[in-house]
Amino acid sequence: MKNAGLWRSMSVNLVISVALFVVFFFLLRLLELLFPSLSLLHFDDLAWCVGVPASVIGVGYVLTIRDPKNYTGFYPGIVMSALLAWQCFLQGNIDLTILYVCVFIPFQVKSVIAWVKGNNNVAVSDDVSGSDSKAADSGPSFLSPRQRWLSVLFFVVMIIADYLIVTCLLQGDSLLDGVAVKLFGAIMIASATLANFWLIYRKTDAWLYWVIYSFSGIVFFALVGNVFSVLLFCFFLVINSMAGIAWLKA
């Protein structure tokens, strides 16, 4: 019965996400009518069209895992990651394609396993004690000081590594070409990797990295002149911030 409630909550959140995007796209269309020079909706672009359901499902995913016990959110999260990988492949963003396939999907599968185990531990603990006591891995917690510093170190190392890979292998240009774009792209990849990893262990700090991911996405797409994605990542920034606040209160 409890699991049925989790699935029902996930379904409701997906419906809410659809409604939010209906309003979002209505506003974008209104902006296009008011400012004819703006081009925000690109239904003739396959990659853009793939990104639309990915974004809708992604918001439903985040809305669902605002509840740190609702593992069902990771199922649409996996679908979202597969769609985003396809979109990035169509756009020629190989590093982001690898990120979604090799990081997002495996980490989300691992999160389902870990969160289900944590929920089961709580159920057993409650049955035995007859109280509201929780297992150690039952709810959100913060990183230890050591984990926090290791995360920062990994964050910096991954940014440098991605910057060098994109420069030397994928683009073949110099280190000083397109510094800002490559830097914020690297920040997106590093922050998303850490966010997905710490979600496995229900660490509240994961949402800090999701906020960094959203903010860096705003800057990245502003630099490449993609107005639609800038607005979309502003939307993600609000949603991720709300989820982080919910975990702080949990």
Closest CA to 24 of 66, 49, 55: 55
Most confident listed range (36-40, 168-172, 173-177, 199-203): 199-203
Query: In the chain, what is the greatest distance between 2 CA atoms, to the nearest angstrom?
Result: 65
Whole-number Å distance between alpha carbons of 58 and 215: 16
pLDDT digits (tens, 9 = 90+) for 118-130: 887 765 554 444 4
pLDDT value of position 136: 40
Same domain, residue pair 170 and 106 = no
d(CA 240, CA 169): 32
CA-to-CA distance for 197 and 231, rounded, in angstroms? 26
Q: What is the pLDDT averaged over residues 166-177?
A: 78
DSSP letter (8 states) at residue 178: T
**What pLDDT sits at residue 238?**
94
Q: What pLDDT score was predicted for residue 128?
A: 46
Q: Which residue has the tokens 């599968």?
A: 109
The answer to the question of residue 155 being in a domain is yes
Asked whether residue 108 falls in the same domain as residue 155, the answer is no
Residues 183, 105 share a domain: no
Residues 54 and 105 in one domain: yes
Torsion sign, CA atoms 158, 99, 182, 199: negative
Q: Cα dist. 123→53, 84, 117, 127 in Å?
A: 35, 35, 10, 6
Residues 157 and 187 grouped into a single domain: yes
Q: For residue 135, tell me if it sits in a domain.
A: no
Strand partners, 203: 141
In a domain, 139, yes or no: no
Question: Is residue 135 pLDDT above 70, yes or no?
Answer: no
Share of the chain above pLDDT 90, in %: 70
pTM assigned to the model:
0.88
Same domain, 26 and 74: yes
Same domain, 11 and 108: yes
Domain span at residue 86 reads 1-125
**158 and 93 in a common domain:** no
Count of the separate structural domains present in the chain: 2
Model pLDDT, residue 29: 93
Average pLDDT for the chain: 88
- φ/ψ of residue 39, rounded to 5: -130, 100
95, 125, 155 - which closes a domain: 125
Buried b (16+ CB within 10 A) or exposed e, 35-51: eeeeebeeeeeeebebb
Residue pLDDT, tens place only, 172-202? 777 777 889 999 999 999 999 999 999 999 9
Question: For residues 148 and 114, is the Cβ–Cβ distance under 8 A?
Answer: no
pLDDT value for 123: 55
pLDDT of residue 171 exceeding 80, the answer is no
Token pair listed for 2:
């409890």
Same domain? 69 vs 159: no
Of 60, 93, 125, at which residue does a domain stop?
Answer: 125
In which residue are the tokens 């909706």 written?
Answer: 41
Q: What are 49-85's pLDDT values in tens digits?
A: 999 999 999 999 999 999 998 999 999 999 999 999 9
Q: Where are the alpha helices (DSSP H) in 35-93?
A: 46-64, 74-91
> In this structure, are 173 and 202 located in the same domain?
yes
Cα separation values, 8 from 1, 4, 57, 163, Å: 11, 6, 15, 42
Q: Please report whether residue 130 resides in a domain.
A: no
